Amino acid sequence: MSQVLYRKYRPQNFDEVKGQDHVVSVLKSAVSLKRISHAYLFSGPRGTGKTSVARILAGGIGCHQYDLMEMDAASSRGIEEIRSLRDGVQTVPLKGEYKVYIIDEAHMLTKEAFNALLKTLEEPPQHAIFILATTEPQKLPDTITSRCQHFAFKKIPEDVLRNSLLEIAKKENYKIDEETAGLIAFFSDGSFRDSQMMLDQIFSMGEKNITGDMARKLLSAPSRDLIQGFVSSVIEKDSARGMEIIQAVSEKGIGTQLFLKFVLRNLRALLMMRISPASEKELEQILGKDEVDFLKKYKDKTNVRDLGYSLTLFLEAYDKTNRAYLPQLPVELALAKLHLRKQNSDLN
């Protein structure tokens, strides 16, 4: 049975960690100088490398695999598990200088478990290192976080994800273009793990040449024609056509919020191009040359004020779509406001 991509391509050392330079540089220096804290807190979105970096840190300080303990607080969250951990902390390492305890999803621990853990963090044995990983650091008691060195992991930039996917595809003997890799990166919302799981799904289709259409079909992504058609209707102030497109999106079963995410991405790119023409090269790295060429056609047909107004309306609609009786209704209301604004402008 083949190994899933996110496990196969998990970083094995600090140099292989991507998108977290601000974390890696400090930890590498700490290991080099042997200035190791007894407790670390790694926080950040899912799939950004928290547990991978925790394991790499453990290896960097010479912790043997027999002395590396991992606990998933989502399933082992009670006081008994922490008491067992606390009792084990007192024993010396089997090999090497340190025993390392990685507690994933640490925010899921019960209040009693946190209290038990606190007693260990207050007076840890010299050989014990704790690494707490969480997506929700605000749920950890201050008494715990104040005893940890806190490293905030950030979402992985789209261009880093895209390049990683292109590299993996090449190693796995698949062909995938930059635009398709960028589409997967956009869908993964800054998560290495999610992007690699999506790529795994696409590989499972059995085709060696991965196309954008294949990726869109599997990911239920809106077509480029729908996205570009809607964006052009906004720029050209043709709200009637915008209404037709959002209706087509609904009929095709495409999520309204997902569709708006693509629209907002393009309108934001257009705003950046209006304010800073030099950003076009950077945007090509994210959106692809074809998409940027499309937006260039509309750059001189709009202005920063109108773009800012449209972005604000669709951002508000994005937040409301999942709460609305009809998901497309907030978008239709935004289009209605654009229509009224055009009418008032024509009258003046």
Q: Could you tell me if 253 and 313 lie in one domain?
A: yes
pLDDT tops 90 at residue 81? no
Q: Could you tell me if 146 and 28 lie in one domain?
A: yes
Domain count, the chain: 3
| CATH assignment of the domain containing 334 | 1.20.272.10
The last residue of one of the domains, among 136, 152, 168, is 152
pLDDT tops 70 at residue 77? no
Q: Could you tell me if 70 and 115 lie in one domain?
A: yes
Report the distance separating Cα 158 and Cα 190, nearest Å. 7
Q: Could you tell me if 242 and 191 lie in one domain?
A: no
In sequence order, the β-bridge partners of residue 130 are 39, 101
pLDDT tops 90 at residue 280? no
Which pLDDT does position 78 carry in this prediction?
63
pLDDT digits (tens, 9 = 90+) for 108-132: 988 888 988 898 899 889 999 999 9
Q: Let me know the angle formed at the C-alpha of 29 by 24 and 35, rounded to the nearest 5 degrees.
A: 120
**What is the band of 13 on the pLDDT scale with cuts at 50, 70, 90?**
very high
Flag whether 138 is in a domain. yes
| CATH assignment of the domain containing 90 | 3.40.50.300
Q: Could you tell me if 247 and 286 lie in one domain?
A: yes
Q: How far are the Cα atoms of 88, 184, 344 from residue 332, in angstroms, in the given order?
A: 60, 28, 18
Which pLDDT does position 1 carry in this prediction?
46
pLDDT digits (tens, 9 = 90+) for 165-189: 999 999 999 999 888 899 999 999 9
Share of the chain above pLDDT 70, in %: 98
Q: Could you tell me if 145 and 208 lie in one domain?
A: no
CB-facing half-sphere around the CA of 162: CA atoms within 13 A: 16
Q: Could you tell me if 61 and 129 lie in one domain?
A: yes
Flag whether 101 is in a domain. yes
Which pLDDT does position 87 carry in this prediction?
80
**What is the band of 68 on the pLDDT scale with cuts at 50, 70, 90?**
very high
Q: Could you tell me if 119 and 191 lie in one domain?
A: no
Q: Could you tell me if 39 and 93 lie in one domain?
A: yes
Segment 307-330 mean pLDDT: 94
Domain that holds residue 212: 158-219
The DSSP code sequence of 81-140 is HHHHHHHHHTSPPSSSS-EEEEEETGGGS-HHHHHHHHHHHHS--TTEEEEEEES-GGGS
Q: What are phi and psi of 136, to 5 degrees?
A: -135, 75
| CATH assignment of the domain containing 162 | 1.10.8.60
Q: Could you tell me if 178 and 233 lie in one domain?
A: no
Mean per-residue pLDDT over the chain, rounded: 92
Flag whether 5 is in a domain. no
Which pLDDT does position 2 carry in this prediction?
65
Q: Could you tell me if 266 and 340 lie in one domain?
A: yes
Q: Could you tell me if 233 and 320 lie in one domain?
A: yes
